[in-house]
Structure 1
Amino acid sequence: MNDIPQPMNEGALPLFFSTVRQGLALAPTEVRRLFHGRGRTFTGLEQITCDWIGQHLVVQLFRPVSEPFMAALSQGLQQVANEQQYSIRSISIQHRYEMGAPTQFLLGEQPDKVAVVEGGLKYWMNITSNQNSGLFLDMRLGREWVRANAEGKNVLNLFAYTCGFSVAAIDGGAKQVVNIDMARSSLSRGRDNHNLNQQDVSKVKFLAHDIFKSWGKIKRMGPYDLIISDPPSFQKGSFALTKDYQKILRRLPDLLAEGGQVLACANSPSVTSSFVIDGMAEHAPNLHYVQRLDNPQEFADVDAEASLKVQLFGMK
């Protein structure tokens, strides 16, 4: 397979615009990925994405494009903006291939953060950030599953980031959620997310700890009916998926209540779904594989194993 990125084709842009319009029509007030060229399902448009974030249209380019491509892209986006039913507050193009991912605005301005809606729940997002936006849009169905399966449960949220799973769990009736993340700033945003939804934060714990040094404290707040593990692929000095995930898996049986479940996630194209399944079989053999959750349709990928993998395990 040829992995060399191919030049993008301005002749394919009508497909980009029609897909964006379809996405806007389906979720006019919800946060959503509208176009996912990175999934390689759109020939000639593999290095472009478009997100709808709090009425702001955010386009990302992952490699340089020709002047005709940029001209056609800009003209088409302006035309979408003129279709008033979408209530677009701003349109921006982020050049992710350049140092610092500079942003050009075709319309309006973007605030540092904006409150978005997903499934009726609200979250803060940083739409001008090229990495830490505050909410991973491809995890939408994972949050939906947690919300639907959290009733009465004690939930452990490892690598909690800004606590999107926690917000979903509390809305779904969780008894308690324990959020663990090294980044105090992310947990602070997580608390803000709970407050944004007017949730009872007395049911939520925010622990800015190194997971690998905190197992004793984590265990004392258990046992847990549901454990969510959604680690970064790589975090310098603290976590590498292929090297460190096994250390997480072997701790799970001691933390789980009888009949407990684990939602184990991996979002690296360098590992397949068997990475976690085989790791669980080796390091936590009393947990059995149940199913892989679907990814949102808008994140379709020609290679499902290269995309987000959210897998459910249960106690035998």
Structure 2
Amino acid sequence: MHPITTSEDELFELIKQRIHTNSLCQRVLHGRGKRYEALERINIEWYPPYLFVQNFGDALPEQLRIALEHVFDALDTVEAILIQSREWPDFVTSVFASRNPLELPLIFPGMIDDGLHCEIKLGKNRNTGVFLDMRAGWFWVKAHSHNKRVLNLFS
């Protein structure tokens, strides 16, 4: 599969469509899946009302920077956009855009499924407290655990 070249307008539409009316925490873009050219080192996650961008590269790609500015300007549901630069072994989280002053880390309950909440921590650690790419696994466990207790060992 060849990577898809995306402009800032296409990125804006992709991000906007995935977060516009969604109140659930979700993975918006998994660039590390190598589907989007120039975004191979980027992950974007939506933790309403915060958009969280993980940058595993040197600099934020220009088309993404522009798309994020457009998302922030167009959607008042986005309270802030945070960028976490994650060059091993260091990481730094900064506020890209915010409607109000923020103090990091942000710690708040995030809805990951109907009636299922998890404490989200943005800016304190490398992970956020929830692994959104495991959503299919959550649904499988839910479907197979009626009247059972489940111990989550992140496996």
TM-score, with normalisation over the residues of structure 1? Answer: 0.42
Q: 1:154 to 1:94 in 2, by over 3 A?
A: closer
Of the three residues 8, 23, 27, the one matched with 1:29 is 23
1:92 corresponds to 2:51: no
Match of 1:102 in 2: 92
1:75 corresponds to 2:70: no
- Decide which structure has the larger Cα Rg and report it: 1
Q: Distance in 2 between matches of 1:143 and 1:158?
A: 10
Q: Distance in 1 between matches of 2:81 and 2:124?
A: 15
Q: 1:19 to 1:53 in 2, by over 3 A?
A: same
Unmatched 5+ stretches in structure 1:
1-8, 161-229, 231-316
Match of 1:141 in 2: 136
Give how far 1:61 is off: 1.2
Query: Aligned ranges for residues 1-316 of structure 1 at < 5 Å?
Result: 12-25=7-20, 28-65=22-59, 69-70=61-62, 72-84=63-75, 86-97=76-87, 99-108=89-98, 109=102, 110-120=104-114, 121-155=116-150, 157=151, 159=153, 230=155
Percent of counterpart pairs with the same letter? 27
**1:61-102 deviation per Cα after TM superposition (whole angstroms, max 9, x unaligned):** 111137xx34x4333212211223x51111111111265311
Q: 1:95 to 1:130 in 2, by over 3 A?
A: same
Give how far 1:111 is off: 4.5
Q: Distance in 1 between matches of 2:124 and 2:106?
A: 8
Q: Amino acid of the residue matched to residue 81 of structure 1?
A: F
Considering only aligned residues, what root-mean-square deviation do their CA atoms show, in Å?
2.4
Q: 1:32, 1:52 within 8 Å by CA — same for their partners in 2?
A: yes
**1:143-181 deviation per Cα after TM superposition (whole angstroms, max 9, x unaligned):** 1121222112254x2626xxxxxxxxxxxxxxxxxxxxx
Give how far 1:50 is off: 0.8
Q: 1:21 to 1:106 in 2, by over 3 A?
A: same
Q: Distance in 1 between matches of 2:96 and 2:50?
A: 11
Aligned residues: 146
Q: 1:147 to 1:82 in 2, by over 3 A?
A: same
What is the SS of the residue equivalent to 2:122? coil
Match of 1:269 in 2: none
Give how far 1:47 is off: 1.0
TM-score, with normalisation over the residues of structure 2? Answer: 0.79
Q: Amino acid of the residue matched to residue 109 of structure 2?
A: A
Q: 1:38, 1:46 within 8 Å by CA — same for their partners in 2?
A: yes
